[in-house]
Amino acid sequence: MIEKNVTFNDDAWAKIKSGVTLLNRAVGSTLGPNGKTVILEDAQGNPHVTKDGITVAESLLFPDPIENLAMSTVRQASKKTALRAGDGTTSSIVVSNAIVALTSRNRIGNVHLFKKGMYDAKDYVVSVLKKTSKKLNKKDLLSVASISANNDESIGKLIAEAYEKVGKDGVVAVEQSYNEKSYVTIKEGTKIDRGWATHHLVTDLNKREFVAQSPFIFICSTQIQSAQQILPILQHCAETSKQIIIVSDTSEEFLATMILNNNKGRFKACVIRPPGIGYKRDELLEDLALMTGSKVFSEAQGNDFGQIDTSYLGMADKVVVSEGETVLFTKPKEEGKIKKLKKHIEDLLSDESEADNEWHLRDRLSKLTGGVATVHVGASTEVEMKEKMDRVDDAINATRAALKMGVVPGGGATLLHIAKDMRLHIQDSKHHEMHPSYIEAWDILIKALAAPLTTILYNTGITDKKFTEITKSMMQETYKVGYNALSGELVDMYKEKILDPTAVTINVVENAVSVACELITTDCVVTNVRA
């Protein structure tokens, strides 16, 4: 057994704060239109220049074990923001740090009521964000894409073009161009809202992706317990040197076998958990089989593992599997059947009795009709290419989130306005009768919501005095008014198209509050003894 160090109370809290602060200083410097770049050194000593918050965060490893644990905890929470909403990693870290930095342990008092207060305050913020949100129009689409790409309008135009062609439910991917030019291509394909079952199967360690060219597709609605059950299929992969995508629930034993075969180079396989549950899962799997020319194996439908053969296999031109989703580039094999299925789903959508299934039906329809747009990124050097692809990836994700839930005024403006209303809310309600610990939590979150704007202004070179003037002026205005860090003026953020995806902003607040509460209420840290 490894020896452990145990650190308690104030000593542990000081290190936790320090770790979160260091993470925030590194990542926060990239926020906003005047955010700075960060130069990262890889394992081979090569430089990687980036303004992508999650890339910076992923590169960090602190020598102090407690600082490192605190940093890793916040980093994981910020990654959830990106996974759920596509962007917002940096803002999530900035708000998490603000909550932790503003918290004094001797003022928390009742931990239970403090956490309740923090979560109630968070719920208030989320409810206002949803009410404030506006749908995205064509001009807004370009603006969100450009802002998310660090105000690069050329990238914004490419992403807007991509989504205009495939629709809000279509898939937009990013690839490296073979020359210095950046452009968009459209191919047929679909998407699964599930990623790899284990990161041990990825082929691209940096992007944490499994990328397969012309792989077999095997879809199974019955849980696979062992490799022996589908041995004829796996042998065929080994004989043909083909990669395979397995869409199925599996045992840990089966996953371990796939990892072993991948490592030994017998064949490359990636396992994806099926989307949906119950009959909805079955329908989504049948749709996927239709798109890839495969057959769904199902014991419930009378199929027998003892009689399995390669006739169940389909194919795709290319498959990219990430942590949260799978994109398949594939030309439908039976277009006549797909057209009939689309018509059937459209008829169901017009049937009032199917209202409860509307989301599921629209999801099926989008996967059958949406294509896959690829933004090919060009650059003159490898360093520029990496930096540019990070920005494009962020912008694609942010645009996708904006199309789903709409937008709010960006640049930290909306959160600052909500903070103003929160102050009035607790003054005008019965909250004043609540426990001091509850009120303390509200007060901390109110102050922390200013952190994104504060960081943007700091990166612009604004002094503390000027910052106070700006925030006071903003507080006297409506929600639509914010600070344009490029022009140095208070403006109508909708007119100037300085907008943030609502889904991103919601996830920033939710994940920041969640992780900060866990750290704040930590009284003991156990770490391994280092040599």
Measured CA to CA, the distance from residue 353 to residue 419 in angstroms comes to 43
- Same-domain status, 219 and 312: yes
Cα angle 380, 382, 385; round to 5: 75
Cα angle 266, 269, 271; round to 5: 150
Between 235-244, 388-397, 418-427, the lowest mean confidence (pLDDT) is in 388-397
Measured CA to CA, the distance from residue 520 to residue 12 in angstroms comes to 11
pLDDT, the chain, mean? 89
Residue 152 has a pLDDT of: 84
Residue 435 has a pLDDT of: 86
Determine, yes or no, domain membership for 412.
yes
The predicted model gives 68-96 an average pLDDT of: 87
- Same-domain status, 32 and 89: yes
- In the chain, DSSP finds a helix count (H) and a strand count (E) of 20, 20
Measured CA to CA, the distance from residue 220 to residue 299 in angstroms comes to 9
pLDDT at 83 over 90: no
- Same-domain status, 318 and 211: yes
Band of the pLDDT at 354, cuts 50, 70, 90?
low
The predicted model gives 284-293 an average pLDDT of: 88
pLDDT at 362 over 80: no
Burial of residue 208, with CB atoms counted within 10 A of its CB: 0-12 exposed, 13-18 middle, 19 or more buried: middle
- Same-domain status, 503 and 419: yes
Measured CA to CA, the distance from residue 326 to residue 320 in angstroms comes to 6
- Same-domain status, 29 and 160: no
Measured CA to CA, the distance from residue 61 to residue 478 in angstroms comes to 42
- Same-domain status, 247 and 267: yes
Residue 386 has a pLDDT of: 81
- Same-domain status, 205 and 311: yes
Determine, yes or no, domain membership for 363.
no
In the chain, how long is the greatest CA-to-CA distance? 77
- Same-domain status, 86 and 168: no
Q: What is the 3-state secondary structure (H, E, C) of 34-58?
A: CCCCEEEECCCCCEEEECCHHHHHH
CB 54 within 8 A of CB 86: no
Residue 441 has a pLDDT of: 95
Identify each DSSP E strand in 458-506 by its residue range.
481-484, 489-492, 499-501
Residue 217 has a pLDDT of: 96
- Classified as helix, coil or strand, 335 is helix
Measured CA to CA, the distance from residue 474 to residue 488 in angstroms comes to 13
- Same-domain status, 388 and 419: no
Last residue of a domain, one of 333, 362, 384: 333
Query: Euclidean distance between the first and final Cα of the chain, in Å?
Result: 14
The residue type of 167 is G
Q: Radius of gyration of the chain from Cα atoms? A: 25
Residue 291 has a pLDDT of: 86
- Same-domain status, 432 and 394: no
Determine, yes or no, domain membership for 313.
yes
- Classified as helix, coil or strand, 118 is helix
The predicted model gives 479-503 an average pLDDT of: 93
Q: How many CB atoms lie within 10 A of CB 151?
A: 18
Band of the pLDDT at 134, cuts 50, 70, 90?
very high
* CATH number, domain with residue 383: 3.30.260.10
Residue 355 has a pLDDT of: 61
Residue 197: give the domain boundaries. Answer: 190-333
Name, in order, each residue with C-beta under 8 angstroms of 113's C-beta and a sequence gap of 6 or more: 434, 435, 437, 438, 441
Determine, yes or no, domain membership for 360.
no
Percentage above 90 pLDDT, the chain:
56
Our count of domains for the chain comes to: 3
Beta-bridge partners for 39: 49
**530 HSE (CA, 13 A, CB side):** 5
- Same-domain status, 521 and 456: yes
**What does the pLDDT look like over 178-230, one tens digit per residue?**
888 999 988 888 888 899 999 999 998 878 899 999 999 999 999 999 999 99
* CATH number, domain with residue 112: 1.10.560.10
Last residue of a domain, one of 382, 405, 428: 405
* CATH number, domain with residue 290: 3.50.7.10
Residue 428 has a pLDDT of: 72
**What does the pLDDT look like over 153-172, one tens digit per residue?**
899 999 988 888 887 767 88
- Classified as helix, coil or strand, 104 is coil
pLDDT at 241 over 80: yes
- Same-domain status, 324 and 256: yes
Residue 458 has a pLDDT of: 93
Band of the pLDDT at 530, cuts 50, 70, 90?
confident
